[in-house]
Amino acid sequence: MYRPIKIKEDLYYLGVNDRTKALFENLWPLPKGVSYNSYLICDEKTALMDTVDVCYSDLFLHKLDIALNGKKLDYVIINHMEPDHSGSLGLLRSRFPEVQIVGNKRTLDMVSGFYGLNDGVIEIKDKQVLSLGKHQLEFHLTPMVHWPETMMTYETTEKIIFSGDAFGTFGTLDGGITDAQLHPDRYYDEMIRYYSNIVGKFGTPVQAALKKLSALEIKCICSTHGPVWTMEDQIQKVVSIYDKLSKYEGDEGVVIAYGSMYGHTEQMAETIAYQLAQRGIREVILHNTSKRSHSYIIRDIFKYKGLIVGSPTYNNKLYPEVEALISKIEGRDMKNRYFSYFGSFTWAGNAIKHIQELAHKGKFEVVGEPVEMKQAMTDQIYDQCIALGDAMADRLIQDRE
């Protein structure tokens, strides 16, 4: 999109699409790309909401010039300092030397640290109001969603919340900008993946932010990634997704994440999955940790109540990809999951012991007896895997009552 897009009266979309970057934060796959969203309000005073990744600064500044249509740029509001949003700030100040940079104390500390900008700044407090004319901007500090400086800006006339990364998704905007112009269903799984990968650890701060937002009438959500949410049912849905994820609530289903070198541990995973299906658990997802990006495994762990981890012993420890996944799970402070585990070995078994540490560290309810297999599947190990599947199914079925 070469030109700014008018979303509402006085409100322009200046965002850009990134279909080149392979990994977000150099970690998380972007098969569908990602958008970096910025917005401009044109009133008696003009206010820019965030910038974009510096790689797209030329296109972004071109759009901004057109949207301003000869007006002065008075303010740039920084809701989030992560460089994919603040990266063009230095160039923006060079183009508009009189623009005032608006942020809270922590934001302005980062503006100084990242870009060396200390002059022409306005420090705001929680719930402080900045008037643009008929549009009033009210600032709501939402620390640790998901950086310490994050805040949201509420435009009180049109009831618009500029939410920073909150309610954002992976995926580019392919033609349509708002939920009314596209099929929003295709973004929900990418919203869950975005939340679980990027925000996942900070459930308690997200809950605090949602409580603060509940007092506001919201008719439009302008996130820094993904669609602009304008439809009442879609606004309710995306808020409910964040509410559920930040409470670590899952749907009925089981993720079985395993490592396997020669297929023996995989046989255990498939046996457990078979029994879960026999018991009526329809959402059973097997993830080979060596084949599937952990980004998607973490997404599914956030989606479903049951988690079963399996690993062979490798160098007297866990299989490396399983160990890496467990580290990511621990880093997200996961709660409210039913947890089981299994392992295998050839001559010395240690996988079960190491997985057990996750059970003790995590805030999980351990279900069933762990299964440990020496070398290859036997009738006894098969029966134990069936019993583990039964135990997990029993626990999930209890929640139906």
- State the CATH number of the domain containing residue 390: 3.40.50.360
Q: Does residue 85 lie in a domain region?
A: yes
Task: Tell me what pLDDT residue 258 has.
Answer: 98
Q: Do 202 and 284 reside in the same domain of the chain?
A: no
Q: What is the CA angle 103-104-106, rounded to 5? A: 115
> Over its length of 401 residues, how does the chain's per-residue pLDDT go in tens digits?
689 999 999 999 999 999 999 999 999 999 999 999 999 999 999 999 999 999 999 999 999 999 999 999 999 999 999 999 999 999 999 999 999 999 999 999 999 999 999 999 999 999 999 999 999 999 999 999 999 999 999 999 999 999 999 999 999 999 999 999 999 999 999 999 999 999 999 999 999 999 999 999 999 999 999 999 999 999 999 999 999 999 999 999 999 999 999 999 999 999 999 999 999 999 999 999 999 999 999 999 999 999 999 999 999 889 999 999 999 999 998 899 999 999 998 888 788 888 887 777 767 999 999 999 999 999 999 999 999 999 999 999 999 97
Kind and range of the H or E element at 255? strand 251-258
Beta strand pairing call for 136-141 and 129-131: antiparallel
Task: Tell me what pLDDT residue 361 has.
Answer: 72
Q: Does residue 175 lie in a domain region?
A: yes
Q: Do 32 and 108 reside in the same domain of the chain?
A: yes
Q: Does residue 259 lie in a domain region?
A: yes
Q: Do 80 and 126 reside in the same domain of the chain?
A: yes
**Amino acid letter for position 287:** H
- DSSP collapsed to 3 states, 354-373: HHHHHHHHCEEEECCCCEEE
Domain final position from 193, 222, 246: 246
Domain final position from 217, 246, 275: 246
Q: Do 240 and 279 reside in the same domain of the chain?
A: no
Q: Do 43 and 10 reside in the same domain of the chain?
A: yes
Q: What is the pTM of this model?
A: 0.94
Retrieve residue 188's tokens: 């929900």
Structural domain boundaries enclosing 366: 251-396
Q: Do 231 and 256 reside in the same domain of the chain?
A: no
Buried b (16+ CB within 10 A) or exposed e, 31-54: eebbbbbbbbbbbebbbbbbbbbb
Task: Tell me what pLDDT residue 64 has.
Answer: 98
Number of domains in the chain: 2
Q: Do 187 and 280 reside in the same domain of the chain?
A: no
Domain final position from 189, 220, 246: 246
Q: How far apart are CA 38 and CA 117, in angstroms?
A: 20
Task: Tell me what pLDDT residue 325 has.
Answer: 95
Q: Does residue 147 lie in a domain region?
A: yes
**Radius of gyration, alpha carbons of the chain:** 24
Q: Do 181 and 276 reside in the same domain of the chain?
A: no
Q: Does residue 33 lie in a domain region?
A: yes
Q: Do 346 and 223 reside in the same domain of the chain?
A: no
Q: Does residue 401 lie in a domain region?
A: no
Q: Does residue 239 lie in a domain region?
A: yes
Task: Tell me what pLDDT residue 357 has.
Answer: 79
Q: Does residue 389 lie in a domain region?
A: yes
Q: Do 239 and 382 reside in the same domain of the chain?
A: no
Taking a C-beta distance cutoff of 8 angstroms, is the pair 123, 103 a contact? yes
Q: What is the CA angle 243-245-251, rounded to 5? A: 110
Q: Do 179 and 267 reside in the same domain of the chain?
A: no
Q: Do 239 and 255 reside in the same domain of the chain?
A: no
Which domain CATH number covers 240?
3.60.15.10
